[in-house]
Chain A
């Protein structure tokens, strides 16, 4: 057991602190996303929105969370109890662990140590994101099935087939991007964009497809079929109450934050500061990394706003339209984009 001590404990500690910070930050941001969503909805519908709890209603998310915590918890008699609890836990888990490969900013120097603001720079970063996204189905499916309610089951099946269908188009649209970047590591993708132009300039079509699929993967309007309350009462979390329901609702907001972060990382330069040559300002040290982080967060904020803007603008698709769009339009489009990108790269290299 002596050899165990050869592990770099400082590195472990550093990563642990980073993980805690990232998880807390995602949760707090998700909390305030709910506030932003209500305010934006109110603005678009010419209302005031939440304004009672605290100044400008800023404490509203805390009040909502507190309410959910103190609600009575009901587990249906005929449900499968273990799976019933496992469902929301898995939904939350898969929402949180995607953040492990996102590079939040450049390296910082703390007490003589170079600390990377990324939990894990694995060389298959984007595939890791895909694996976690494809596991995200289980939270919905297990929750819907174990509730032992026909509406929940129907909603769960809808949700799962939607996620699987849109994953394909998402993956195909990404291949075109990866052809340009030649790497799967998110950090390297960001660094390449810092050195030259953002990927959105080279791959606008891939961005549109990817963003549409991200909407579908997060179950956001216009693709919120699993929660279509007019057809399914309330969706896959109908039997849930208290914080278990809160977990499902919350996981959606965490997903939104993380997928915005991934869209920004892939297409909008990640923590790149626009119109600034980072390499020339290396002497700024930690401030540069901090400015990068702020920039990254602003870009993410814009995309979260875009998610909400779309939600309060576009009505819901019908189910067959959803499947048509996914299989008959987005996938051929992504394939065409992939072939054209490949051809152009070959032609340029000649």
Chain B
């Protein structure tokens, strides 16, 4: 095993374990913190793939901004066990069945996708994830989708302000 492989398995195990802990934790604040660990391990994977920019932006946007907002909301709602509504067991069973079906769909989709099967991840090499190349691709080849998505973000922001300002 090379150092890269060891890191890969470690990060994968960490990502899966903390993703499970997000679901299993009783305390919503703990769930958010475990989710942050998931983002960290995914960023580690990006670094293994030499996509440093993606890794760090993943941390800035998801771990640094979005999860802080999650924490805000959860802390202010003051959730604890007594206020949490108890769902009846039929709903729980339906949830388990739906989850298993979704898993089946995902697994079969991945298994049958020839593209994923045939291609191999480039470890430690490749420079497509470096900021210079990424910038060129975004602003040269995909400039219209990029600008459209930024307008989408802007409209979402304006919408939120309008809703917030309404008496």
State the Cβ distance, A158 to closest chain B Cβ, in Å: 11
Tell me whether A210 is interfacial, beta carbon within 8 Å. no
Please, what's the 1-or-0 string for B111-136, where 1 marks a CB less than 8 Å from any CB in chain A?
00000000000000000001100000
Cβ A164 vs Cβ B3 within 8 A: no
Tell me whether B9 is interfacial, beta carbon within 8 Å. no
Cβ A134 vs Cβ B29 within 8 A: no
Q: Which residues on A sit within 8 Å (CB–CB) of B65?
A: 134, 164
Cβ B75 vs Cβ A83 within 8 A: no
Tell me whether B146 is interfacial, beta carbon within 8 Å. no
Tell me whether B91 is interfacial, beta carbon within 8 Å. no
Most chain B beta-carbon neighbours within 10 Å: one of A6, A127, A142: A127
Interface size, chain A (Cβ < 8 Å):
29
Partner of B53, one of A124, A137, A161: A124
Kindly report which residue of chain B lies nearest to residue A153, judged by CB atoms: B75
Give Cα A49 to B14, complex, Å.
50
Tell me whether A3 is interfacial, beta carbon within 8 Å. yes
Size bin of chain B's contact surface: 20 to 34
Kindly report which residue of chain A lies nearest to residue B68, judged by CB atoms: A137
Cβ B29 vs Cβ A124 within 8 A: no
Q: Given known contacts A3-B1, A3-B2, is B52 in contact with A124 (CB within 8 Å)?
A: yes
Q: Given known contacts A4-B3, A134-B65, A145-B29, is B52 in contact with A123 (CB within 8 Å)?
A: yes
Q: Given known contacts A157-B75, A160-B72, is B60 in contact with A131 (CB within 8 Å)?
A: yes
Q: Which residues on B sit within 8 Å (CB–CB) of A293?
A: none
Q: Which residues on A sit within 8 Å (CB–CB) of B23?
A: none
Q: Which residues on B sit within 8 Å (CB–CB) of A161?
A: 72
Please, what's the 1-or-0 string for B46-81, where 1 marks a CB less than 8 Å from any CB in chain A?
000000110011011001110010011001100000
Tell me whether A287 is interfacial, beta carbon within 8 Å. no
Q: Given known contacts A141-B75, A160-B72, is B64 in contact with A123 (CB within 8 Å)?
A: no
Cβ B56 vs Cβ A1 within 8 A: no
Kindly report which residue of chain A lies nearest to residue B58, judged by CB atoms: A131
Q: Given known contacts A83-B29, A124-B52, is B64 in contact with A1 (CB within 8 Å)?
A: no
Give Cα A133 to B60, complex, Å.
9
Give Cα A4 to B27, complex, Å.
40
Q: Which residues on B sit within 8 Å (CB–CB) of A184?
A: 131
Give Cα A124 to B33, complex, Å.
25
Please, what's the 1-or-0 string for A134-151, where 1 marks a CB less than 8 Å from any CB in chain B?
110110011001000000
Residues 12-54 of B at the A interface (beta carbon under 8 Å): 27, 29, 33, 36, 52-53
B interface: dominant SS: helix
Tell me whether A128 is interfacial, beta carbon within 8 Å. yes
Q: Which residues on B sit within 8 Å (CB–CB) of A137?
A: 64, 68
Give Cα A161 to B6, complex, Å.
39
Cβ A135 vs Cβ B130 within 8 A: no
Cβ A134 vs Cβ B60 within 8 A: yes
Q: Which residues on B sit within 8 Å (CB–CB) of A160?
A: 68, 71-72
Kindly report which residue of chain B lies nearest to residue A83, judged by CB atoms: B29
Q: Which residues on B sit within 8 Å (CB–CB) of A141?
A: 68, 71-72, 75
Cβ A127 vs Cβ B3 within 8 A: no
Cβ A131 vs Cβ B29 within 8 A: no
Cβ A127 vs Cβ B56 within 8 A: yes
State the Cβ distance, A75 to closest chain B Cβ, in Å: 17
Tell me whether A319 is interfacial, beta carbon within 8 Å. no
Q: Which residues on A sit within 8 Å (CB–CB) of B56?
A: 124, 127-128, 130-131
Residues 1-41 of A at the B interface (beta carbon under 8 Å): 1, 3-4, 6-7
Partner of B75, one of A131, A134, A145: A145
B residues at A contact (CB < 8 Å): 1-3, 6, 27, 29, 33, 36, 52-53, 56-57, 59-60, 63-65, 68, 71-72, 75-76, 130-131
> Given known contacts A4-B1, A157-B72, what 20 new A-B pairs fall within 8 Å (CB)?
A3-B2, A127-B53, A127-B60, A128-B56, A130-B56, A130-B60, A133-B64, A134-B60, A134-B63, A134-B65, A135-B63, A137-B68, A138-B36, A138-B71, A145-B29, A145-B71, A145-B75, A157-B75, A160-B68, A161-B72
- Which A-B residue pairs are the 6 nearest by beta carbons? A134-B64, A131-B59, A127-B56, A145-B75, A131-B60, A3-B2
A residues at B contact (CB < 8 Å): 1, 3-4, 6-7, 80, 83, 122-124, 127-128, 130-131, 133-135, 137-138, 141-142, 145, 153, 156-157, 160-161, 164, 184
- 9 CB-based A-B contacts, threshold 8 Å: A3-B1, A7-B3, A124-B56, A130-B56, A137-B64, A145-B75, A157-B75, A160-B71, A160-B72
